[in-house]
Amino acid sequence: RSGLTKILDGIAGKGPDERSIRAALEVGATSTGQKHRGKGLPQIWREIRSEPEAQISIYSNKGALHWNGKRNSEQSNEFQDNIFGTVISWTVPVYENADGE
pLDDT in tens, 31-62: 666 666 656 888 999 999 999 999 999 999 99
Adjacent-strand bridge partners of 87: 59
Provide the number of structural domains found in the chain.
1
Is there a domain that residue 7 lies in?
yes
The pLDDT tens digits for 63-95 are 999 999 999 999 999 999 999 999 999 999 888
**Structural domain includes residue 80:** yes
Helix extents (H) in the chain? 3-9, 16-27, 41-49
Neighbouring C-beta atoms of residue 25, cutoff 10 Å: 18
**Assigned domain for 100 exists:** no
The answer to whether 37 touches 96, Cβ cutoff 8 Å, is: no
Give the residue numbers spanning the domain of 56: 3-91
Check pLDDT > 90 for residue 98. Answer: no
**C-alpha to C-alpha distance for 22 and 7, rounded to whole angstroms:** 10
For residue 97, being part of any structural domain is answered with no
